[in-house]
Amino acid sequence: MSITADSIFTMPDLPEVGHNDFERAARILRARTGIVLGGHKRDMAERTLAMRARRQGLASVKEYLDHLESDSQSEHWETFINSFTINHTAFFREQHHFPILAEFVKTRKKPISVWCCASSTGEEPYSIAITLREACVSPDSGVSILATDIDTHAIERAREGVYSMERVKPVPEEHLRKYFQRGAGKRAGMVRVKPELRNMIEFEVLNLLSPNWPPSQSFDAIFCRNTMIYFDKATQTRILERFAVTLKPGGLLFAGHSENFTYLTKAFRLLGQTVYVAT
């Protein structure tokens, strides 16, 4: 059986998906979050949308999208957005950044604050916390981390701070013993971040397109790594310029290995190794 571009088809046991539903959903997602949903994700996205519609007892994806567009405060926005966020992360990912952060904070006066603005399931902010505890004198006072992400489920997992032994393999053994508790019984094979590490971090849900930031506080460093690649250039530029006014004088922005901001804005100057300083 052939399916034309103009047809409407039905996935097995799932509501109808119209031929324009993907484009419409991509438009809605981009307007709400800035995330660009590429055409190569069409099949995955259409199945996800159909599953979301089925869970709401709707006959079609069109009805699901109609509901989202008619109610900007709907509780279903949360699951819609979570469905299209990517939570690829690891402890001490792009490891070269952490010695740079350690040396940098040694030159800063307290209070020292770092914003991890795409914290996912917590591996990155906990890596930052370990680095700060090792680098700062008396890290229990005047040292803090704000960890935010748009994905509510990811933030919940980050707050728990529970990981498999496989996930914490990149953590040096001495830091694993110092900052993690090993599970027993039903928790065997798992570890949990110790309170002294968790207490350094405030976890919040935040959309980088929200008008309600930058926060009232300012930061010595911002980690925004492997996140901008999901935005178009105009959105990247707006976010970078907002980062610039959120940083303290001489503050650093840490970017992902595939991200280059030098041609987007004059608000930052490249120091090297995907680290930028606000100009």
225 known ligand binder: yes
Give the angle subtended at the CA of 199 by the CAs of 114 and 103, to the nearest 5°.
35
108 known ligand binder: no
264 known ligand binder: no
93 known ligand binder: yes
94-103, 192-201, 263-272: range with lowest mean pLDDT: 263-272
The token pair at 52 is 């979301």
User: Is pLDDT above 80 for 152?
Assistant: yes
Domains contained in the chain, CATH given: 9-83 (1.10.155.10), 97-278 (3.40.50.150)
- The pLDDT value recorded for residue 149 is 93
- The pLDDT value recorded for residue 14 is 66
124 known ligand binder: yes
User: Is pLDDT above 80 for 159?
Assistant: yes
56-60, 188-192, 197-201: range with lowest mean pLDDT: 56-60
What mean pLDDT do residues 170-192 have? 93
68 known ligand binder: no
Nearest to 224, CA basis, from 189, 250, 271, 259: 259
Q: How far apart are CA 64 and CA 176, in angstroms?
A: 45
User: Is pLDDT above 50 for 223?
Assistant: yes
Most confidently predicted of 1-10, 108-117, 230-239: 108-117
The token pair at 31 is 């307007």
208 known ligand binder: yes
Please write the tens of the pLDDT for every residue from 2-52. 334 443 444 446 667 777 888 888 888 888 887 777 777 788 878 888 888
What mean pLDDT do residues 101-106 have? 97
What mean pLDDT do residues 209-233 have? 87
User: Is pLDDT above 70 for 270?
Assistant: yes
pLDDT class for 71, splitting at 50, 70, 90? confident
- CA of residue 203 relative to chain centroid, distance: 11
149 known ligand binder: yes
Mean pLDDT rounded to a whole number for the chain: 87
Burial of 160 (0-12, 13-18, 19+ CB in 10 A): middle
pLDDT class for 182, splitting at 50, 70, 90? very high
